[in-house]
């Protein structure tokens, strides 16, 4: 079982993560979506496609752009469509 935790708050837990480039991508069903806020930030990866970002909230704390997803990935990255990954101090283990 893999979990994503920030400031003692469990954001995601799943035994069905997909590892891509060293990052665990969690299925949406394993993520507490109430802790995520859509960010206007986007980026483009030539391998995976266009990413959308989320801010992560734990109590009154906000971790800006600490999660991302690929809602319309390239064909090579189809296995992570809508899955969510974390960084910026979110502990994934």
User: The domain that contains 71 carries what CATH number?
Assistant: 2.170.150.40
> Domain range spanning residue 14?
2-92
Quote the DSSP letter at residue 88: T
**Alpha-carbon span 31 to 51, nearest angstrom:** 17
Those residues whose C-beta lies under 8 Å from the C-beta of residue 60, and which sit 6 or more positions away, are none
Question: How many structural domains compose the chain?
Answer: 1
- How much of the chain is helix, strand and coil, in % rounded to 5? 15, 60, 25
Note the pTM of the prediction, 2 decimals: 0.96
Asked if 30 and 11 touch (Cβ cutoff 8 Å), the reply is no
pLDDT in tens, 9-67: 999 999 999 999 999 999 999 999 999 999 999 999 999 999 999 999 999 999 999 99
């Amino acid at each position: 079982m893999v979990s994503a935790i920030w400031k003692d708050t469990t954001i995601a837990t799943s035994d069905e993560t997909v590892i891509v480039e060293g990052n665990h991508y969690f299925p949406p069903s394993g993520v507490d979506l109430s802790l995520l806020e859509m960010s206007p930030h986007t980026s483009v990866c030539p391998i995976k496609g266009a990413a959308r970002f989320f801010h992560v909230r734990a109590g009154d704390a906000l971790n800006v752009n600490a999660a991302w997803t690929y809602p319309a990935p390239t064909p090579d990255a189809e296995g992570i469509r809508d899955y969510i990954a974390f960084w910026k101090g979110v502990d994934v283990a």
